[in-house]
């Protein structure tokens, strides 16, 4: 674990483009494009999400494909307004109703193709190439309409992921999509957000998901943001709140425990206020394999030895599998993030 204090201040708006260099290793079997798109849209099931994240951590090709798909989605959204595009398709779809005379016709011609209800085949060869092109164009328009219907949920999910951190006062779909946890219950409004900064351009950052493991590329660093509890006063100006203390710690798949905030001594005060505040320094997870980050919010300060024992006990109970690590036996609230190191 290394620290770096030179990263620029991170804005509170989580609408930050993704970035980072790919991992160094590759594999022989790659994930299909459809599964990668579902993974990026947050539509994969739990098993696929974990499998794809683990695969991308060791596959240079699939990591580059994920980056390319993210860039493609951002470029598409920047270039085309969804509302304008949907309105144009809606106008094209409004076809006038057939007249009574046409409805009673037993046989008629459309784009040079005679369609009838009498004897013979329901489809006849077009009279000319121009007729065939006209029919093909109609089919293309229908396919475009179907594509719009399928693409709309992707736009909606992207909008949800871009909700600002200070908007919601409880756990919502936007909170989960943005990689943010809030403390459940009306007495607390604390929240935690973790981001990954690119090794080459620290201003390019992405938000870490709350459920799936996050693959890291070589040199990428993490930032931890916390939003303090407003307390009973509700003015967000530094009230004591329900959880005035915090402790951040990590454990790797070898069972090595590393206190982060603080590195020695007891818990530190939880930053108070209505806005997300990022802790000083950035962190680089060294070594290989998996590592679990745990943020603890408590009513009383915790000693380092107490937290170390709680983490070690949970690690033993999980059989040494960080993906199965349960909540620590500590009174308070806690937030977990799992990383796959390159």
- Exposed e or buried b per residue across 246-271, where buried means at least 16 C-beta atoms within 10 angstroms of its C-beta: bbbbbbbbeeebbbbbeeeeebeebb
Given a contact cutoff of 8 angstroms between Cβ atoms, the answer to whether 19 and 64 are in contact is no
C-alpha to C-alpha distance for 38 and 51, rounded to whole angstroms: 13
- Is the per-residue pLDDT at 301 higher than 90? yes
C-alpha to C-alpha distance for 171 and 185, rounded to whole angstroms: 9
Q: What stretch of H or E contains 269?
A: strand 268-269
Return the percentage of the chain with pLDDT > 90, whole number: 30
Given a contact cutoff of 8 angstroms between Cβ atoms, the answer to whether 257 and 249 are in contact is yes
Pairing mode of beta strands 205-207, 257-261:
unpaired
- Is the per-residue pLDDT at 149 higher than 60? no
Q: How confident is the model at residue 147 (pLDDT cuts 50, 70, 90)?
A: low
108-117: pLDDT as tens digits: 444 444 444 4
16 versus 153: which is more confidently predicted?
Answer: 153
For 180-223, the DSSP string reads EEE--STT---EEEEEEE-SS-TT-EEEPPSSS-EE--TT-EEE
Q: How confident is the model at residue 44 (pLDDT cuts 50, 70, 90)?
A: confident
- Is the per-residue pLDDT at 99 higher than 80? no
Rounded to a whole number of angstroms, the CA Rg of the chain reads: 27
Can you give the residue ranges of every domain in the chain? 2-78+163-341, 82-156
- Is the per-residue pLDDT at 173 higher than 70? no
Average the pLDDT over 67-74 and give the result: 86
Given a contact cutoff of 8 angstroms between Cβ atoms, the answer to whether 225 and 192 are in contact is yes
Burial label for 123, CB within 10 Å (0-12, 13-18, 19+), is: exposed
Whole-model pTM? 0.47
C-alpha to C-alpha distance for 337 and 156, rounded to whole angstroms: 25
pLDDT at 312: 95
C-alpha to C-alpha distance for 139 and 98, rounded to whole angstroms: 19
Residue at token pair 């594999």: 27
Chain centroid, CA 283 distance in Å: 21
- Is the per-residue pLDDT at 236 higher than 80? no
């Amino acid at each position: 674990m290394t620290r770096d204090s030179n990263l620029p201040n991170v804005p509170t708006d989580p609408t930050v483009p993704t970035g980072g260099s790919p991992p160094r290793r590759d594999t022989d079997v790659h994930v299909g494009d459809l599964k990668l798109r579902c993974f990026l849209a947050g539509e994969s099931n739990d098993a696929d999400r974990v499998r794809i994240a683990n695969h991308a951590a060791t596959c240079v090709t699939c990591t580059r494909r994920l980056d390319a798909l993210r860039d493609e989605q951002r470029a598409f959204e920047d270039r085309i307004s969804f509302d304008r595009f949907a309105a144009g398709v809606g106008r094209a779809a409004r076809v006038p109703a057939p007249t009574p005379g046409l409805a009673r016709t037993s046989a008629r011609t459309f784009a040079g193709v005679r369609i009838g209800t009498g004897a013979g085949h329901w489809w006849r060869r077009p009279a000319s190439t121009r007729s065939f092109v006209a029919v093909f164009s109609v089919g293309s328009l229908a396919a475009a309409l179907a594509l719009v219907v399928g693409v709309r949920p992707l736009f909606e999910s992207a909008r949800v992921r871009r909700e600002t951190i200070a908007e919601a006062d409880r756990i919502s779909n936007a909170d989960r999509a943005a990689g943010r946890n809030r403390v459940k219950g009306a007495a607390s409004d604390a929240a935690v957000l973790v981001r990954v900064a690119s090794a080459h351009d620290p201003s390019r950052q992405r938000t870490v998901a709350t459920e799936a493991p996050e693959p890291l590329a070589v040199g990428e660093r993490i930032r931890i943001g916390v939003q303090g509890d407003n307390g009973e006063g509700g003015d967000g100006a530094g009230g004591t709140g329900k959880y005035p203390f915090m402790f951040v710690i990590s454990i790797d798949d070898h069972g090595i425990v590393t206190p982060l905030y603080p590195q020695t001594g007891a818990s530190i005060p939880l930053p108070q206020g209505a806005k997300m505040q990022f802790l000083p320094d950035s962190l680089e997870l060294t070594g290989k394999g998996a590592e679990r980050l745990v943020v603890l919010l408590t009513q009383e300060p915790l000693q380092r030895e107490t937290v170390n024992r709680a983490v070690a006990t949970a690690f033993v109970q999980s059989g040494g599998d960080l993906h199965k690590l349960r909540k620590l036996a500590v009174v308070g609230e806690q937030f977990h993030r799992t990383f796959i190191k390159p």
